[in-house]
Chains A and B, each alone.
Chain A
Amino acid sequence: MTITRRGLTLGGAGLATASSLGLATPALAQSEPIRIGWLAALTGPSSAPAIGFDRGVRHAVDTINANGGVRGRRLELLVRDTQGDPTKAVNAAQEMISRARVHAIWGPTNSGESLATTPIMARARMPNVHPCFVDSLIDPARYPNAFRMAPSNSQIDDAVSKYGVEILKLKKFAVIGDTTGYGTTTVNSSSASIARHGGEVVYRATIDATQPDLTPDMLRMRNAGAEAIAVWTVSPGLISRLMNTRANMGWDVPLVGHPAMGNGEVGQLIAKPENWQKTYILGFKNCSYGADGKLPNHVQAFVDSVRGKINLEDTTLWWVALGVDAINMIAKAVQESGGTDAAGIIGYWNTVQNWPGLYASYAWSPTNHNGLPDGDLVMSEANSLRQGAYRLAPGYV
């Protein structure tokens, strides 16, 4: 048989057409890496959570790859530093969807960014898991691809209210936040939650985080009859001033609320270590020390296994644990659905029930994409940080 120039040209054209029609795709798809986009605010003022998540993410990816990957396919991580900026997060999400063609995205890690990227990912039907709190980010009808692996703001409000009203048995609350959008909206939602649980909000206000002296504000709270103060701010300056003023006034009112009250920076700013007492922050059952001073067995085993490999002293355990869970959740979806098809991954996530993660036991359904059960939310003692985890607050142990 002689090969003519015309025949060779026709054959080449046929091969090229067949490739472009996808006839060669199945073989490639079976061997290509599983690409996971990781939208991380690794630098900038809101970088602390993402730095913690990142340690867990990388540990999980390395562990899975060391064990042969998922169905023989390696995990490939594509990280983009969004710096906490919604514009950068949008650009990075679009790049991941259009150019990098990732199979699933973990992140962004703060609600401001996620509000911007969620509609974009929904249009592309990109499987997305994230740890952001704002309630409106989860809507299975509008965003069927988006799944939350952390509590929503409503759940957080309810957990704090329940602790104050039902466990501490207090009735009258002052609710304060900083003057940011987060502080303002959370003061409203927290007040509504306290009222729903049978408490009375006797004082509510927003306070500028740079206000140097809080004596006037705290006098107003005390005069209003507050038995506890619900605090919604991430500002260590404002938090420490609250604690110092409380001590100077000789007022032993408990502070309940945002996990930022347990940050190490607060510890540096308070005048005396005892000013940090009677402060209870939102925590997570799996990542809290019980009466025996130990974590739940499977989490304790993880902490023991990463000792010396992951630094838990300058971050919180739940960030690291959630980073691990996010990657494992994506890997499990690929494993169970048989591939990286977006519909398959989303379909698997819609069936997840009591999925035993390090951070929580997740449960999703086609109509509920809030993955954290209320029972996993607890309160912790703010001044008890040890290896990234806190001790359960009084009333749980």
Chain B
Amino acid sequence: MLTAILLSGLAVGAVYALIGVTYNVMFSASRVMSFTAGQLGMLGGVLGAAFIGVLGLPAIAGFVLTLAACAAIGVLTEIIAVRPVLKSLEQHLYVLSTLALALMIQQFTAITWSTEPQPFPSLFGLQGGGVGDEKFWLPILACAAVVVGLEFLYRRTLIGRAFLAIAEDNFAARALGLPERNLRMASYALAGVIGGLAGFASGQLFLAFFANGAMLNFLGFVPVALGGLGNNRGAIIGGLALGIFQQSANFLFGGVFASVAVFSVFIIVLLLAPQGLFGAPAQRRV
């Protein structure tokens, strides 16, 4: 019983964590909370099912094409919904523009794909529940790969350091000659890849379903708030904790009450630590 709860909790938590990282990567480059993060996760599942399940492409080709398509959607988000509102960030117009784009993506998927969940093909043929079931360990593996990959990117590569510079102070970065716009677009492409990976890896768990986007938007935002805005480690830990707590609450209280329990804890945490568990209090410039 404990194994089942831990396994499913870690699996769904890993997906929430990856969507949280998707939010953060977009936020770091633009100071914009883009509500297309969950839709990128949804598209990862739908496109994976379409390429492999419907078109019959080999799994590896379907995987690469899915990530490429999600990267393109990420770039499109930057061009359509973010760039036009960057000059008036304080008016929070990005809430409207990114939400509108997210809704368009969702409706387009519903019309062209299906309004019912569709199967996501098994990638390795490892099913049957339990620890060996790929639907549980694929999201965990994807999460681990993203953690390692981001650490490598940010600490060991020049472009990663440029991302960090933009995130730290984009005015200073521009003054140093960094191509801010191109780096921002690259960040959105990276966010698209991470979101798409989350959806692809969890396709068997969540199925290829257009409504997953809204659910992931919501539950993927919780680890961001819990872990602190822009803090990837916080998002990973927050996401995994959310998943385990949600599955435990499912077992202890049942479906509907589980949601109440999850969000009660979420509100309590934010009341006690408004900046998130791993976030630093905002500094006021004087």
| A-to-B contact residues, CB < 8 Å | 45, 179, 205-208, 210-213, 215-217, 219-220, 235-237, 244-245, 247-249, 265, 268-269, 271
Mask of B142-153 contacts with A, CB within 8 angstroms, 1/0: 000000000000
Whether A268 contacts B118 in the complex (CB less than 8 A), given A208-B256, A237-B209, A249-B129, comes out as yes
Bound-state Cα–Cα, A45 to B202, Å:
25
Bound-state Cα–Cα, A220 to B250, Å:
9
- Rounded to whole Å, the gap between the CB of A350 and the closest CB of chain B is 40
Whether A248 contacts B11 in the complex (CB less than 8 A), given A45-B115, A268-B119, A269-B207, comes out as no
Cβ B256 vs Cβ A215 within 8 A: no
Cβ B250 vs Cβ A216 within 8 A: yes
Cβ A248 vs Cβ B256 within 8 A: no
- Rounded to whole Å, the gap between the CB of B200 and the closest CB of chain A is 15
Closest to A208 in B: B255
Bound-state Cα–Cα, A378 to B8, Å:
37
Could you list 18 further interchain pairs (A-B, Cβ under 8 angstroms) beyond the known A208-B255, A265-B116, A271-B128?
Answer: A205-B255, A206-B256, A210-B206, A213-B11, A213-B247, A215-B4, A215-B129, A216-B4, A216-B247, A216-B248, A217-B254, A219-B1, A219-B4, A236-B116, A237-B209, A248-B129, A248-B130, A269-B119
- Rounded to whole Å, the gap between the CB of B283 and the closest CB of chain A is 39
The 10 closest A-B pairs by CB, nearest first: A248-B129, A216-B251, A213-B8, A237-B117, A207-B255, A216-B250, A205-B254, A215-B4, A212-B205, A45-B115
Closest to A216 in B: B251
Q: List 28 A-B contacts (CB under 8 A).
A: A179-B255, A205-B256, A207-B255, A207-B256, A208-B256, A210-B206, A211-B255, A212-B202, A213-B247, A215-B8, A216-B5, A216-B248, A217-B250, A217-B255, A219-B251, A220-B254, A235-B117, A236-B117, A237-B117, A237-B209, A245-B129, A248-B128, A248-B129, A248-B130, A248-B133, A268-B118, A269-B119, A271-B127
Bound-state Cα–Cα, A219 to B248, Å:
12
B211 at the interface (CB under 8 A from A): yes
B93 at the interface (CB under 8 A from A): no
Bound-state Cα–Cα, A179 to B260, Å:
13
Mask of B129-147 contacts with A, CB within 8 angstroms, 1/0: 1100100000000000000
